[in-house]
């Protein structure tokens, strides 16, 4: 079976970045709907008023073994300061997103043979993506 890489795409230029190592963990992709309850004037039960759904948010985490991947994640995070990016995951689902957090943390290791610039450490990271628009995938057709 062939590996399918997660990918960032810049909608302004068409530039793409295939992740060398996909995320290993993903928090639940939960959405919730706000319901407010107020007392009716008739005294017959509560009146419910439904608000908007909470935003669709992905939180991923994983391990980086090459310094170049960390550098690229920083570049894409910075690009997101001024614009949205397209995120395609390994299942083919696509989302227009804002990268709202990228949190790398160096971790000492005895030996990382993958990158001579990172012989004594790896990077554990987490990233949060807020969906602006669902382009394809299981949430297609729902409001972001």
Report yes or no on 78 lying in a domain.
Answer: yes
**Looking at the 3D structure of the chain, how many domains does it have?**
1
CA 142 to centroid of chain Cα atoms: 18
pLDDT score, position 143? 72
Mean pLDDT computed over every residue of the chain: 90
Task: Give the range of the structural domain holding residue 82, as residue numbers without chain letter.
Answer: 61-136
Contact predicate 27/59, CB 8 Å: yes
Q: Tell me the three state secondary structure of residue 76.
A: helix
Element (H, E) at 130: strand 121-136
pLDDT score, position 19? 96
Q: Tell me the three state secondary structure of residue 110.
A: coil
Q: Tell me the three state secondary structure of residue 136.
A: strand
Contacts of 45 (CB under 8 A, 6+ apart): none
Q: Which two tokens stand for residue 24?
A: 């290993």
Contact predicate 45/56, CB 8 Å: no
pLDDT score, position 30? 67
Q: Which residues of the chain have pLDDT under 70?
A: 1, 30, 144
pLDDT score, position 40? 77
pLDDT score, position 36? 82
Report yes or no on 99 lying in a domain.
Answer: yes
Report yes or no on 3 lying in a domain.
Answer: no
pTM of the model: 0.84
Report yes or no on 37 lying in a domain.
Answer: no
């Amino acid at each position: 079976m062939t590996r399918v890489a997660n990918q960032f795409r810049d909608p302004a230029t068409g530039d793409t970045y295939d992740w060398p190592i996909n995320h290993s963990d993903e928090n639940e992709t939960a959405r919730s709907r706000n319901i407010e309850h107020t007392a009716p004037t008739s005294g017959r039960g509560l009146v419910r008023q439904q608000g908007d759904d909470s935003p669709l948010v992905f939180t991923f985490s994983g391990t980086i073994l090459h310094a170049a991947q960390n550098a690229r994640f920083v570049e894409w995070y910075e690009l997101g300061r001024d614009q949205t990016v397209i995120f395609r995951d390994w299942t083919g689902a696509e989302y227009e997103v804002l990268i709202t957090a990228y949190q790398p943390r160096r971790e000492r290791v005895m030996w990382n043979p993958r990158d001579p610039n990172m012989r004594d450490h790896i990077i554990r990271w987490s990233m949060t993506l807020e969906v602006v628009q669902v382009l394809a995938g299981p949430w297609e057709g729902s409001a972001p």
